Structure 1
Amino acid sequence: MITSPALTTRLPQRLSPLVTGAIIVTVLAWASAFVVIRGTAAFFSGGALALGRLLVGSVLLSLSMLGRTWVRPTGREWLQVGAFGLAWFGAYNVVLNIAERTLDAGTTAMVVNTGPILIALGAGWILREGIGKWLAIGGGVAFVGVVCIGIGTGGSGLGSGIGVAWALTAALTYAVGVLFQKPALRRLPSAQVTWLGCIVGTLACLPFSGELVSGFAAAPVSAILGVVYLGAVPTALAFSTWGYALARMPAGQLGISTYVVPPLAVVLGLLVFAEVPAPLAVAGGAICLIGVALSRRRA
C-alpha cells in the first residue's frame, strides 16, 4: 500500500476528559465481559447467550433514544449500519461465546485483541486515516505484550485449536464492525448508530430464540443475572461510550486503546476464578500498557 506523507504523519488527537472517560468505561466493561461470559457460557449456547445479551441491550438502548432527534440515514449509511450490526453485535457475540467454552477468559481476551491491529491497518488503508509512526510502534509493542499474556496464561488455553479459531474469528468480525461503524458516524449521531446496530444484531440472532428459552428454564439465577449484566453494561453502556469516542477520534487510535482489556481480564479472572497469572502474563500486561502509551505519543 502507498500512502501520502500527509496520511502517514497524521498526529494523534488530544482527547477531551469526556472522551478519555468514555474510553475508560469501555475497556473496563469489556474486560469484565470476558469473565462474565466464561461464568455463563456453560448454561447457554453461543447463539442463545448472544440473543439474551442483545435483547437486554436493545431495550435499554431504545429507552435511551427517547426524546433524541432522529437523523434519517441515507441508503449508504443504512448499509454501513447494517454491516456494523451484523458483524459486531451479531456475529462477534456468537463466536466469542463459543470461543469461551474452550478458552479461559485471559487467553480469549488476548486472541480477540489482535482485532485492533486489523482495525489500525484497515483504518489506515480503507478509511484513509493513515498509519503514523507512533501508532505503528505502539501497536507492535502492545501486540508483543498480548502474545506474552496468551503464553503466560497457560498452554491449555492456546492449545485448544478450535477455541483459538473461534476467537480469531471474533477478532475479525470486531474489526469489520468498527470499519463499517466509523464512516456511519461522520453524519449520524453515535447513540443512533449504536442503537440501530444492536437492533440489527438482535434480529440476526432471533433464530436462537428456542435455545434461549431452554437455557433460561435450566440456568441458575446467577447465570440469568450474568446475561442481564452483559446486556446492560458491556453492551448498552460500553457500546455507547465506544461510539461516543469513535465519533471523536481515529478508529485505529481508539482500537489500540483496547489493548488494556487483556491484562484487566487476567486480573478479573484472578479475583473471580482464583486464576493466578504467570509472571510472563504480568509482564505482558505491563508491555501492553507501554504500547498503549507509545501509540498516544505525538511526533
Structure 2
Amino acid sequence: MKGKLIVIPTPIGNLGDLTFRALEALKTVDLLLCEDTRHTVKLLHHYGIRVPLMSYHKFNEKERTEQIARRMEKGEFIGLVSDAGMPGVSDPGEILIRELIRKELAVEVLPGASAVTTALVGSGLPIASFLFLGFLSGDKRARKEQWNRILTAKESVVLYESPRRIRKTVVQLYEALGDRPIAICRELTKLHEEYIRGNLSALAENPEQIPEKGEIVLIIGPSGREEERADPKEALEEALRDMPLSQAVKAVAKETGLPRNELYETAVRMKEEETDGCDS
C-alpha cells in the first residue's frame, strides 16, 4: 500500500488556531517536512508532540522531492508544514505536490489558517474576487510587470511584504498606481494585531506612520476608475503654466488619482512636443 502526503496548515500567529484534524495529523505522520525545523519544534513542543522531522525549503525542495516520493511508494505517511499558514502558498510545497500528483501518489490538503483570507476579510475592501501576487519581485523588470498587473486589475490585490520594505513599497505603489484604497494588515491573530486602513496618497505622504514590525499582508483596493480614463493632458497643461514639471505632476496626480509615473511620462512628452514645435 502506498503512502500519502498530508498538507497541514499551521497557525499564522496564535497557536490556539491549530485545527483538531491538523493536530491529529501531526501526531500520526511517519515524517514531518518543515520549512524550518527550529520554528516547527516550538509548535510541536506546545502540543507535546514528538515526530521525526526533515527540512524542506526552497533551497533543497527539488532534491528532496524524489526522496520523499520513494518513501511514499514504500507506504509512509508524510506531513508537510510551513512556518505559518498553508504550505505551497508563497511557501515551499508547490513543486512537491505537483510532482506527487504526476506520479499518481495521494495528496490530502487539510483546511486551516491563511493570512490571505484573514487579511482580505478584515480589510473592509471588495473581496468577491481578488488577485494574489505573493511577495513583490526584487527584479526590476519582473516588479514592473507586477505593477502593470496591479494597475489593470479590476479586483483587490493581495501582496506579502517585509516590514523592512513596507514604507518604501507604499510610496512606490502610489507613484506607480495613483491613489487607491489600501489596508496594511500586520501581526494577524497575534497580541498586537493591527489593520491600517486608508488611501495610498495619505500613507505615501507620511510613511512613518506605518510600523516597521511584524509580518505584513497588503491589500490594495480597485481603482474605481473606468477603463477609459480621461485624458490628463488638459490638467497637466494648466498645471505646467504655473509650476515646474515635478510639482505639476504631483498636483495632477493628487487631483485625478492617476499614477504619478504615468503622468510624468506624459508631461515629458508634452514638453518635448512643445520644444519640437518651437524649433520648427
Question: If the TM-score is normalised by the length of the shorter chain, which range does it land in?
Answer: under 0.3
TM-score relative to the length of structure 1: 0.22
Greater helix content: 1
Greater strand content: 2
Q: Which has the larger radius of gyration?
A: 2
TM-score relative to the length of structure 2: 0.23
